[in-house]
Amino acid sequence: MKRGKVDMIDIKLIRENPELVKENIRKKFQEHKIKLVDEVVELDKKSREISSKGDNLRMNRKKLSEDIGKLMCENKKEEAEEIKKEVEKINTELEENEKKEEEYKAKIKEIMMVIPNIMHESVPIGKDDSENVEVEKFGEPKVPDYEIPYHTDIMEKLSGIDLDSAREVAGNGFYYLTGDIARLHSALLSYARDFMINKGFTYAIPPYMIRSDVVTGVMSFEEMDAMMYKIEGEDLYLIGTSEHSMIGKFKGKILDSENLPYTMTSYSPCFRKEKGSHGIEERGVYRIHQFEKQEMIVVCEPEDSYKWYDKMWSYTVELFRSLDIPVRTLECCSGDLADLKAKSVDVEAWSPRQKKYFEVGSCSNLTDAQARRLGIRIKKKGEKQTYYAHTLNNTVIAPPRMLIAFLENNYNEDGSINIPEVLRSYMGGKEKLKA
């Protein structure tokens, strides 16, 4: 896939091409942010003026300090003392100047954190997810001539879920999985783990909590507010996906280009607020506060990121097809693209009960947006200059939603569930689940 000409915005881009940044904002239908570009331009101008003034003050101070040294050598103490007073004035002015300089830098950084990443030129323009564009279908979607129950009904018939007890213990959005359904849940995660290891990815189990500077490094403030659970009294947040702590692993590091790419697949529980009203299809285990997931992340050279992007979503498609689940890929339009993402594709699984596809994962290229925020740089052997890495993430499987797709696509008229051959070794050799 062809790379766009521009990646994550930086101050130089806003300074030299503010209209490009504004047009990107317009394409994301965030007109209220356009004024921020002009604010940054003005603040940057003032910041550079203050910085230049500081340089001049320091140069003048250096010259006067040299003059003092000469006068002292010549035993001209009175003249030296007069110049020392000038130096003291410069020191006071320089202190005030440096304070202003830091204030400007902090304000510029604050605004820059809100301005969205530059999207890839191929991203379709649309206001919201209703304008996302289907790319390709994999597998033939089928609707059997018998009724497929709602997923929680299937689980309950197999004595595999208890929502009522979970509601008493933790509230809405939680569940107990038991018996064969709990085992199936774990089997899917184990299969996904081994699938990715066989693709050459390194398996990892990351921290389930991260500090605020990592949170703001991996996601926008809007996403943070909508998703993250804050630990009261601590500078810690529960992760909404292991991508957060996995990318955070590289925070502040200078990576040897010879060791790239870093390709990792990680398991974790995930915790999300999931604000908003939920329809019937989002009850059960579709939209919940706690779930488990197998994720994949890549940290790579900028010129390789879109090659990895295509590989990553194709791995998810391959995994679902190995379980006989039809899927499609859906290109996220500009208005549905989170601020740090340059390009994103959703993988959707077929629901024979609903007779439509639903989202089971998402693959994103964030170019150097996260790397800039977290200070993840690359250094080539023999070169002094460093540059920002590109980061990508993709869902391998998130079993609650994956579980829905699996149960519906493997449901038999008698209420039993087929276990595809690739999963049987993880299920103790079982070929079917029966009530």
Give the closest residue to 393 by CA, choosing from 359, 377, 373, 369: 369
Question: Per residue in 306-348, pLDDT tens?
Answer: 999 999 999 999 999 999 999 999 999 999 999 999 999 999 9
Q: What is the pTM of this model?
A: 0.89
Highest mean pLDDT among 3-17, 124-138, 220-234, 276-290: 124-138
| Rg, C-alpha atoms of the chain | 28
The neighbour count for residue 344, using CB atoms within 10 Å, is: 25
Name all domains of the chain by residue range, CATH numbers in brackets: 31-112 (1.10.287), 129-433 (3.30.930.10)
pLDDT score at 280: 45
Q: Name, in order, each residue with C-beta under 8 angstroms of 386's C-beta and a sequence gap of 6 or more.
A: 254, 377, 378, 379
pLDDT score at 80: 86
Q: Would you place residue 275 in the very low, low, confident or very high pLDDT band (cuts 50, 70, 90)?
A: low
Question: Per residue in 366-403, pLDDT tens?
Answer: 999 999 999 999 999 999 999 999 999 999 999 889 99
Residue range 134-149: average pLDDT? 96
pLDDT score at 10: 84
Collapsing DSSP states into helix, strand and coil, what is residue 256?
strand
Cβ-contact 403, 414 below 8 angstroms: no
pLDDT score at 74: 86
Q: For residue 201, what are its two tokens?
A: 């990815």
Burial of 202 by CB count in 10 Å (0-12 exposed, 13-18 middle, 19+ buried)? exposed
Question: Per residue in 199-250, pLDDT tens?
Answer: 999 999 999 999 999 999 998 877 888 889 999 999 999 999 999 999 999 9
